[in-house]
Amino acid sequence: MTESRGPFAVGSGTVQPMTAAQPDTMGQPAGSHALGARYKWVALSNTTLGVFLVTLNASVVIISLPAIFRGIRLNPLQPANISYLLWTLMSYLVVTAVLVVTFGRIGDMFGRARMYNTGFVVFSVAALGLALVPGHGSTGAIELIGGRVVQGIGGALLMSNANAILTDAFPANERGMALGINSVAAIAGSFLGLIVGGLLASIDWRLVFLISVPVAAAGSVWGILGLRDLGARHPARIDWWGNLTLAGGLVSLMVGITYGIQPYGGHTMGWTSPLVDGALVLGVGLLAGFLAVERRVADPLFHLELFGIRAFAAGGVANLLSSMGRGGLQFILIIWLQGIWLPLHGYDFARTPLWAGIYMIPLSAGFLLSGPLSGKLSDRYGGRRFATGGMVVGAATFAALMTLPADFGYGPFAVIIFLNGVGFGLFSAPNSMSIMNAVPARHRGSASGVLATFMNGGFVLSMGVFFSLMVVGLAAQLPQVMRAGLLAQGVPAAAAARAAALPPVGSLFAAFLGYNPMRALLGPALHSLPAARAAAITGRSFFPSLLSHPFHHGLLITFGVALAMCLASAAVSWSAGDDRAPEPDGAERGALLGLELDAMEAVPSGGAGRL
C-alpha cells in the first residue's frame, strides 16, 4: 500500500517522486483546475516579480559602476582594473546564461516550483552579501564578483523555470497574454534598472544591492506558500557530461569575448591574443562535444530533437538576434547620453548616470504599453505577424537613429526610442508563446531554460560585438581628432601625441561610466597650461566635443549591424509559421512523437521510475 505525502510517494521501501496530473488536451494540467482560477494569477504575479528582479539586477549595476568603484576605492579606468570592471558587470550575466538550461532540466525532473523558490532564497542571500561587502580596492572587487556569481545562480534558478510554471498554469488560449506580461517585465526590468541604479547610487552604492533583499525574501515566502508543481515530473539520471561541456563551452566563449574587447599588446583590442583565440576555440570545441554527448546519453540535458520543431528552432534564433540588438542598443544609448549628450547640455559627469536613466524612460514606456497588448492579440490572431512586425519596427527605429546627429534634439530622440520599445514589446510575447507552445509539456523546463539562455546569452554577446564595432569606429578617427583638439588648446605636442595614442577603448569606457578622463590622460602636462586652458580641457564640454564626431562614425556602424539583426529576426520569425494552434504537423509531429515515445519507454509500466 502506498501512502501519498506531499510531493513524494512512500512505499515498498523506496522514495519516488509522484507524477503530477497529466496535461489536458489544451496543454493545461488537470491539477490546475482543482486549484481554481485564482492560481494562474498567483503564478503570473510571482514569476513576473522574479524575472523582473533578475533582469533589473543585470542592468542596475551598469549605471551604478562609478559609485560602486568609488565606494570600494578602486579606479576602474586604470588598465590593471579594467578586468575587475568587466567581470563585476559580466559575471552575473555569464552565470545566468550558462546555468539556465541545466536548472530548467532539473526543474523538469524534481519540480519547477521547488527550483524556482530556491532561486529566490539564493538571490536574497547573495544580495545581502553584496550589500555588506567589507573589502576595498582589488579585494573588494573580487568579493563583489564572487557575490555576483552567487546572485547569478539564483537568477538562473528563477529565469529557467518561470516560463514553464506559467505554461503549466495557463491554458493555451491565454498563454500569449501571460507570457507577454512576463516577458515585458523581464525586458522592462533591464531598462528600469538604469533608473533605479541611478537613484540609489546617488545616495549609497550599497543600496543598489540591498534593495533586492526584501523583495526576493517576500517573493520566496509567497512562492513557497502559493506555487505548486503542476507539470508531470520525469525521473532521470543527471547528464553530467552534458552539463560540463555546455557550461564549459559557454564560459570559454564568454571569457574570450570579454577579453577580446580589452587592449592587447599594441592592438586596440585583444582579438589577436592567444588567450582570447584559445578560449574561443576551446568554447566551440566543448559545444561541439556537448552536441555529440546529447546524441548518445540515455537522459540528455536537452533533447536536440526539439530543434526539429520549426516553431521552436525559429523562435530561439529570432530571440537570440533580438536580444543582441536590444542589448547593443542599451549599451550604445548609455554611452551616447552619459559621455556626450548630457555633458554637452550642461550636466555634470557625476550626475549623468541618473539622468541617462531618466531620459531613457520612453524606451521602457514603449515596452510596457505594447508587450501585454501584443500577448493578448497573439492569443486571438496568432503571434507570427506581431513578432515579425515588431522586429520590422525595431529595424526602422535603428535606421531613424542613424539619421540623428551626435548632439540631437531630445523630442525626435524620445519618439524614436519609444517606437523602438514598442517594436521589441510587440516581438517578445509572441516569440515566447511560439517557443513554449511548440514543445511537449515534459520539456517545458528545458525549453524555458533555452529561451533564457538565448536572451541572456544574446545580451552578453551584444557587449562583445557592439563594443568591438564601436572601438573600430573610434579607432578610425579619434586619435587624429584628439591630437588636433589638444594641440589647439596649447597642450605640448608630445603630451598630445601620447594621449591620442592610448587605446580608444579607454575613452569608450570613460563615456560608458560617465567619467571625464582628460585629467588622467594628460597628467602633469595640464600643469604647464594656463589655468583657463586647463579648466576648459577638464570641463564638461571638451571631452564630449572631441568624442562626438568619431563616436557618430562608430554609431553608424553599430546601428547598421543592429538593423540587420532585427531584419534577420523578422525573417526568421515569419518562417516559424502560424502558432495559433499548438498542434504540430509534418516533421514536427515526428519529432514530438519521438520525444513522447522516449518518455514512455523511460517510465516502467508500474509507475514512475527510480532516480
Question: C-alpha distances in angstroms, 380 versus 25, 182, 318, 383, 388?
Answer: 18, 18, 22, 9, 16
pLDDT for 600 equals: 45
The amino acid at 118:
T
- The Cα 99–Cα 104 span in angstroms is 8
Low-confidence ranges of the chain (pLDDT < 70): 1-36, 77, 79, 176, 231-236, 444-446, 448-449, 577-611
Give residue 578's pLDDT. 57
| SS percent in the chain: helix, strand, coil, step 5 | 75, 0, 20
Residue 133: half-sphere exposure toward Cβ, Cα within 13 Å = 29
Percent above pLDDT 90 for the chain: 21
At 473 the pLDDT is: 81
pTM of the model: 0.74
pLDDT of residue 16: 36
Residue 15, pLDDT score: 31
Given this model, what pLDDT does residue 458 score? 81
Q: What is residue 90's predicted lDDT score, i.e. its pLDDT?
A: 79
The predicted structure's pLDDT at residue 35: 55
Distance CA 611, CA 609 (A): 7
pLDDT at 141: 92
Residue pair 76/138 in contact (Cβ under 8 Å)? The answer is no
Give residue 395's pLDDT: 95
The torsion angles phi and psi of 10, rounded to 5 degrees, stand at -115, 125
Q: How many CB atoms lie within 10 A of CB 285?
A: 14
pLDDT at 22 (0 to 100): 41
SS3 sequence, 313-346?
HHHHHHHHHHHHHHHHHHHHHHHHHHHHHHHHCC
